[in-house]
Amino acid sequence: MKKIILLVITIVSSGCLVKNNIGIEYPKWYLNNDKDSATYLNGVGNASSKKAAILMALYDIASKITVSIESSYSVTTKIKNDNYSQNIDKNIKATVEKINFRNYKITNEAILNNNQYIVAIKVNKIALANEIMIKVNNKIEQSKQILDTDYKNRTYKLKKMNKIINIIPKLKSELFIANSLDKMLKVDSVLKTIDTLENKINTMKNNITVNISSSHNRGYSKILSSIITKKGFILVNKVATLNIVINSIETKINSMGNKIIKSDLEIIVYNKTKSIILAKKRIVSGGSSNSSFRQAREFAISYFKSKIIDENILSDMLGI
């Protein structure tokens, strides 16, 4: 993907250089770089330093990989629906941008008469695909070990499970990239393994029950209940896998005609027998109204909700 637009080109000297209309001379290898092959991808870059020129050349190659994947995986049996397909495409593009091209080779380099650096590089597609596959398989094995380990702290395991769920789209994207680089790679079995991991995590989550109780206003517990239910966990009105207790102290203040509610809350997560505290968080919330304490309390609960969501408090405490 050359970033130079040539308006007027003149052959100069012995034919090794090509000059554009503003007097910059380019080697022919830059304007007519080697074509990609079954083994190698080629790219060129132009920048104010050699390092930056190499990065531009690698970006050139990354762009080719993205285009190749878009054409190869526009329709695949692994895609469930249009929305899922769009998400996969976004993950692929983001993953391509983060590929670590460690084994590239500089095939040509020069400094132009305007002191710009230009380079031509090539990357071994097969070697890169194998590197990506090794990385994916290592992550899968690490994930399996996490799921098979019986952690005493259930919230710790939930956090680990959540991290696995978050990397699954990236793992699938990396598989698509590797397969686009080397069509001989067998990725179907690896995809099935990833799907099995995802199903196992969902099954484990379905076996986790949550009980939420509040010592004072139920509005705060309703907020937590709503968030946890949306995450796919089952709420029960009895002793559960995770037991969340909200202790709160409410203070009413009259100030210059305003009704003010200040709530000092402590969220505690216990294990199944309520013998071990798994996580604890203190939150101060409040609200003010010129009409009633009831409305001020509603504002305090609303502030509590925004704080829980914006600061990812449940994610930090429970790993969800």
Q: What residue spans define the domains of the chain?
A: 10-124, 127-206, 209-318
Q: What's the CA dihedral at 78, 84, 89, 90 to 10 degrees? A: -150
* Alpha-helix runs per DSSP H in the chain: 28-31, 50-72, 82-97, 125-148, 154-181, 188-206, 218-230, 293-310, 313-318
Q: Check if the beta carbon of residue 278 is closer than 8 Å to that of residue 245.
A: no
Q: What is the pTM assigned to this prediction?
A: 0.66
- Level-2 CATH architecture, domain 10-124: Roll (3.10)
Topology agreement, domain 10-124 and domain 209-318: no
pLDDT in tens, 207-233: 888 999 887 778 899 999 998 888 778
Question: Would you give the DSSP letter of residue 34?
Answer: P
Structure tokens at 264: 């000092």
pLDDT in tens, 33-84: 888 898 999 999 999 999 999 999 998 998 888 776 655 544 343 444 444 4
Checking if the pLDDT of 264 tops 50, the result is yes
Checking if the pLDDT of 287 tops 50, the result is yes
- Level-2 CATH architecture, domain 209-318: 2-Layer Sandwich (3.30)
Q: What percent of the chain lies above the pLDDT cut of 70?
A: 82
pLDDT in tens, 125-134: 999 999 999 9
Closest CA to 168 of 148, 149, 196: 196
Element holding 259 (H helix, E strand): strand 258-270
